[in-house]
Structure 1
């Protein structure tokens, strides 16, 4: 009988332990969580299994007192009084103050010395009592001898009840695990739905913003084309200026060479006149008459050129005989050539120097590449303040709020998205939240798309603002020709400057 009962208990314990063995023993926290869940759901067999593992693997756990209390109650609830008593004694030894936390029923197991665990030999007592009865009773075939069937039946019923309780606990555990699995599946379905909804929303926002992006790209292309046309126009203008400068230089050179030739001819005429002066003393009056008309037009600068040309032909060397008239030809030549020579260095006389202008910019970042090319050409770039100009900007509007607290919440959300943010109060007293201002509309559209990924819906608002400008120049040249030559050199580096005048620092 004892063997049968032991086997039944072993089978029940095996049924209870085997399902729990499928759970991997992880860290102490997860093991304690499993034990607590079983304990709170009154699955004391499973709870005792996990609590025993905790004490075995972590004997010095900070939760040892609570583990021992839960384990003692689990043993008592599953009729394992002997283990419950041992556990309670260990608990009271390690934690004497825990006696006040114990339930009265558990505390009674330790305090009552008469309370002993059930003895396996108890079912044999009725057998001993039946022996005298067997001796006194007459032995007949119709009356069977008394047996110990009643204790065995009670033990069997108890084992069956324990087995039923174990099966019920296992069923409850399976139901709880099934419910947990269904909960996980439901949560996964909800999470998948949230992700799908977010994808649809992002796609809708992208579809809404796409026309703005296309428009911004078109505007950027048109702006680039306009800038290219402006550059080509400036290049054509520079080319015409260079051509005019070259033509002027050629004209000045031709005039200088012509004046030099006329002077040489006049000097030659004087040398020839000195020679026949002694041979023809009788014709001074005629020579004076020939040379006199050549002197009169000299004071008029506009008629100087015809005088210079006519002087040598109107006064042949053979006719210049009077020594008193010899100084006149040099006067004619000097009067003729002086206005031409003085017109050449007009810029130097005006005290003006020339420089190369590369444009007017709103953003200094736009000048970085041009400044590098200027330095590579051996010049020092100069950035000076320019006039203010009106510029169109794209401002990202996030929302309009009646109270400042709601606006501050949206500003906090923009900060988490690492976006620019500022708050403006309009004339109606409403708070408008913005996520930055951009000269480049394409950049504003890109920022809209990025903020849409954080669930922030925005719109673009165009504004016109007065902004300061910066003028980029380089070089200081004494003549326009030198400046134009340096500009041509810079054009080979991909930069097309304009030659402008700058007053000299006097």
Structure 2
């Protein structure tokens, strides 16, 4: 197995990105600075290999900020710090807690496998968990013991084979075998290398000394190591008679069988592999068999890598197998691939490269290619400057765009979608533009590794926003270079409660007739942003009878719901129509005035009350009859004139004005202007349908005393009048 080593800090950047993201979600600016600085201090200490300092700061952080959104990160680093200090029980306890609270976290793959195993044991055993010093899995220990012991055993078998060959005097078969290095069992050798060397030694014995006891022992050892024995089809030749010196001789003919063997080596990459970039991974195949062979080449990369195998000298041509290789001949090839755009910065992955002998399909060999990936790791934090916003207020959103990945982010843009309750404050900040309805867009930019860009935009909350609504802004990042998008949601801003009431009244000042029934329409509006009860208070003179109704029509006869003192459960922006029914007193004088008020109060905040005033001016007709006539003595037959004038001195029109003159029988009417319209037995009546305010209508009556009336007789002419107002009231 080939393990390619890379710097272990790339995935740390990924974790740091998550850390920075949640750091911005603290409720106040001061708190954000505090807990961010404590946490980053612990994180920096871990990176600087000050594990004791890291454990101390993370413990302090968890103690001072138990409800922080950074809790998962703190547990993760605290567990790893204790593990690096050798304090495995504490490490297991904190890691078990971390995994329990975050079962789906991707950071599970970033922790040490032994630490994850300790955490699982702690989770199973609880407080009774005990760490056993230098404990290794049984299977691993036995496998290590077998492999390490195999190397000297293989050497012993080889020595025994040579001794047996020398004692028998049989010539060895001329096969080229590479000399193996001596293995010092006293020093620590990687298990994989020891196993390969043991296998090579055993196979070498089988190839060099076929048919001997040593070859049988080597085959048995290979089976113990779970390795198949290469085909050794040594065929016993024919026994032929060959004349020599006139005598017959028996000759044994041997044929060496071919076996398949190969070496596969992968050259490690010195740098991390960047997302979206094409890379080539070189590897080499060596034919270690004893005959010409070709090997099928396969790679195990996922489909999104678009991987293919090509010859190192001709990378443009894909191939599925090596050319025919002579024993000991090598072939250089590459795995050409494109790192997926969606790869995570710091991600570590291993994928196999495999070869299969065309001569012996049972012989295959695979090596893993370990890769560490780098990518831009973008996080966007969107925070409002207040948690509660009232209608009409301005709210500012601060946005921070961070790249905590190990690769630069190119061709980055973002759009900010905002709720319909917001209206952007003009002018927009530099770089922002409107992009359709309820969305702002920002032009492309580049953010280097570790770079940060900040933006600020303000909105005004519309008046119709309802209380209790949670408002979110959504930032969507677009990486045009990698064709990736990612969305980030802001923290919530809550619409606060606002109480208010408005009143619209028709004809706040109106003229009425005495005794008139007056209906005043009133519209009441809940200008608050939540459901509210409205209290009604009136100040109306006691001489005026009134009632209040809630209705939706405009009929004169009230059949609607009577309102006694409040309007219940009025929705935001709801308008309710009321009618105030008044009955004015009949005996009030013309042009007299009176006023009254109606106050509407929201129950939740009585200081937001609204008062409607109504001013009443009473108007009625006031008609007088003026008379001009010659007084004194009048002789019989002498004509005299009487002028009657009806004058409306009131402020309202008089209707059906009727003037009546009663003349004694000794007086006769000669003529009148206008002529009387009715009358009998000395009664003369004049009628006027209307008499406007200040209007005067005159009647001229010519009369004379009839002959034969005795001197000294007293005669009187009596005049009367009556009229009505516009309501039909008679005066």
Name the TM tier (shorter chain).
under 0.3
Q: Which structure has the highest helix share of the two? A: 1
Larger RCO: 1 or 2 (CA < 8 Å, sep 6+): 1
TM-score under structure 2 length normalisation: 0.20
TM-score, normalised by the number of residues in structure 1: 0.26
